[in-house]
Structure 1
Amino acid sequence: MSLFERLAQIKQQREATAAGGPAPVASKVSSLRAEPERSPLLPASSLGGRECTAAGGCFCLREKKLKQSLQVPFSDTLIYRNLRLIWGIGPVTEARLKDQGIAVISELVCHPRFGADARQVLNLIERRQAAELRRRGATDAELLGLFSPEEIVFLDIETTGLWASQPLFLVGILTTREQEAVLGQLLARHYREERALLAYLAQALQQTKVMITFNGKRFDWPYIIDHNKLAAA
């Protein structure tokens, strides 16, 4: 029995108790199992999608190719102009260096004071070490320029509540395939489809390097992680 079936069972037991006495657990379980037969799921085709199988289950997947391609709006050279990524260089020192004609980090590799760390920063950029570059003060725009559109995913989720124990019924992802932007909607029509949806989402995210969300650090991503744990229990 899934977590959500158990929650539904508890709710029905409480309602039965309030109505005059608890109903047998067996009858409730039987009722829950019979529910799909009384209320069949809408075919994915009627929702503009297709049946998608993952982790031994299925869910409704709707995909649409957008007319415009997903263009990364930031240059891959932007980060090289941020001299403050080098330890010891602040706004005043950066302004002074630029007045001297030093515009990019590579022009400091032979500097007697900043040369060693300039080479370290260039190495971090070459290896796309976003976490360390972020710690040094790199902005989102500078870091995003290091990745191609195919490595970026836009993600949003829709749930029935703010806690991971509450159902997740829709995930939206925007990716790039063969230079075309593809909008995907992963729809769980029933509690039992969540596990397949989550498995498909995990596989899709493995193919990307950067996730862009709205409030994703505080809600979307923690929710997905915790919900995966509950779904696997």
Structure 2
Amino acid sequence: MDTCIPESSGWFPGITTPMSAHRMQRALMVEYEGCTVEEVFGGHEIETTQGTCYAVETSEAIRFRRPDITVLSEAIMHELRLIPGIGEVTAEKMRRRGIRGISDLRTHSRFGADARVIADAADAQNWAFLEAHCCMRRSPSDNLSLLFSLTTPASDLLFVDIETLGIFSRPAILLGTGRIQGTYMTITQYLLRDIREEPGALSAVMAEITGTTRLVTYNGRAFDYPFIRDRAGYYGIPTPDTPAHTDLLHHVRRQWRGKMPDCRLGTVEGKILGRYREEDLPGSLVPWYYQTYRRSGNPGPLVPITEHNRLDIANLPLIYERLLEGCLCPQV
């Protein structure tokens, strides 16, 4: 399908004031007057058990690299604090006595039994048991928690970011997912042309979450995934067992909090990746722009919403890579 994008189409200077937000919205309304959502985005409809939804797919080249799984095994065997009864003070005393890892405690009178359980699980690559144990013993922001993501093949990582009309029982209006497929990242955005399409979009996202999926999000533990799960529950849509989840915000705070004015995603993109969004719609304005689309039927206000969401998802694997580098080389 031919897309309806006028010759003058382009992004605007960064939206920093209410006046510039109004100006951009008015310009978009003029630019896309007479166009339909389908003409602008060139997406396609998907039939789900909960009805129809509209999906926009894009793909871009990506060079995605992660360390070998042996990095995780070594980190586990050197983390004495995984053993019940060993905290930071005790671990430091043991290191001064020459105890460098869990293997050195196999015959210890007090800690030997737990040390053998962990060592045997590592030898057997029982990652599920070890990750669950790590979650009980260590913080979600611990480097070891991030390294457990290496147990998931790149193709099973599901990068997720959503846009909503607010919090506390408000609808989700755009649910975006991203998958690494070789040297490309495919981004699928389930865009609601009408609020009545929310059940279909939620069903489509749930279908992407399988037993081997690991979610990768930015503040998704506190917001995105609970929001998706709760909205699905509102419609009676079955939800899968809680998937493995790597929330990058926890690790950003641990590694870079003192090096940036804040830990917002846009700040991290600029300060760490060197990618500055000079032409971006702030997330706080998404509900206003979407409501303008609903009232007018003009798809113009949807354009910066979808681009904002697409950039959020496209940058997640890049931040994830840099965080892994920081785990292995703390000086980076």
TM-score by length of 2: 0.50
Provide the rounded CA distance (Å) in 2 between the counterparts of 1:153 and 1:76: 21
1:219 alignment counterpart: 223
Does residue 79 of structure 2 align to residue 64 of structure 1?
A: no
Please tell me whether residue 120 in structure 1 is matched to residue 117 in structure 2: yes
**CA offsets, 1:194-213, max 9 Å, x none?**
11111110011225442222
RMSD: 3.0
The alignment partner of 1:65 has SS state of strand
- For 1:153, the equivalent position in structure 2 comes to 158
Moved more, 51-60 or 99-108: 99-108
Q: Provide the C-alpha distance between the structure 1 equivalents of 2:36 and 2:51, rounded to a whole number of angstroms.
A: 14
Q: Deviations over 1:3-55 (max 9, x none)?
A: xxxxxxxxxxxxxxxxxxxxxxxxxxxxxxxxxxxx99632x63132222222
Does residue 86 (structure 1) correspond to residue 83 (structure 2)? The answer is yes
In the comparison of the two structures, how many residue pairs are matched? 193
Is contact 2:127–2:151 with CA below 8 Å preserved after alignment? Answer: no
Question: Displacement of 1:83 after TM fit?
Answer: 1.2
Give the conservation status (yes or no) of the 8 Å contact 1:71–1:149.
no
The Cα of 1:190 is off from its aligned counterpart by 1.0
List alignment gaps of at least 5 residues for structure 2.
1-33, 238-332
Q: How does 1:2-17 map to 2 (within 5 A)?
A: none
Structure-2 separation of matches of 1:58 and 1:163: 25
- Name the counterpart of 1:174: 178
Shift of 1:184: 2.1
Choose the corresponding residue for 1:204, options 193, 198, 208. Answer: 208
Residues 1:47 and 2:41 aligned together: yes
Cα deviation 1:114-165 (Å, max 9, x = unaligned): 221012224276242323321111623243233332332221111112122x
1:188 matched residue in structure 2: 192
Residue 136 in structure 1 maps to residue 131 in structure 2 = no
1:51, 1:136 → 2: CA distance?
Answer: 45
Q: 1:179 to 1:114 in 2, by over 3 A?
A: farther
- Aligned-partner Cα distance in 2 for 1:142–1:108: 23
Larger mean Cα displacement after TM superposition, 63-72 or 199-208:
63-72
Native 8 Å contact 1:63 1:185 kept in 2: yes
Give, as a single letter, the amino acid of the residue that structure 2 aligns with 1:92. V
Q: Distance in 2 between matches of 1:80 and 1:53?
A: 48
Q: Per the alignment, do residues 40 and 63 of structure 1 end up closer, same or farther by CA in structure 2, a change over 3 Å counting?
A: closer
Structure 1 CA distance for aligned equivalents of residues 103 and 155 of structure 2? 28
Q: TM-score, normalised by structure 1?
A: 0.69
Partners of 2:37 and 2:136 lie apart in 1 by 48
Q: Who wins on radius of gyration, i.e. which is larger?
A: 1
d(CA) in 2 for partners of 1:152, 1:107: 35
Kindly state the Cα deviation for residue 191 of structure 1 after the two structures are TM-superposed. 1.8
SS state at 1:145 partner: helix
Residue-by-residue CA offset, 1:158-196 (whole Å, 9 max, x unaligned): 1112122x2211012122234643222111211221111
**Structure 1: which 5+ residue stretches go unaligned?**
1-38
Once residues 36 and 231 of structure 2 are traced to their aligned partners in structure 1, the CA distance between those partners, rounded to angstroms, is 23
Distance in 2 between the 1:208 and 1:62 partners? 24
Of the structure 1 ranges 153-162 and 47-56, higher mean CA displacement relative to structure 2 is found in: 47-56
* Change over 3 Å in CA distance of 1:212–1:226 after alignment to 2: same
Distance in 2, Cα, partners of 1:118 & 1:203: 39
Distance 1:119 1:65, change over 3 A: farther
Tell me how far 1:72 sits from its aligned partner. 4.0
Q: Which residue of 2 aligns with 1:76?
A: 72
**Share of identical aligned residues, percent?**
29
Give me the whole-angstrom Cα distance separating, in 2, the residues matched to 1:106 and 1:175: 37
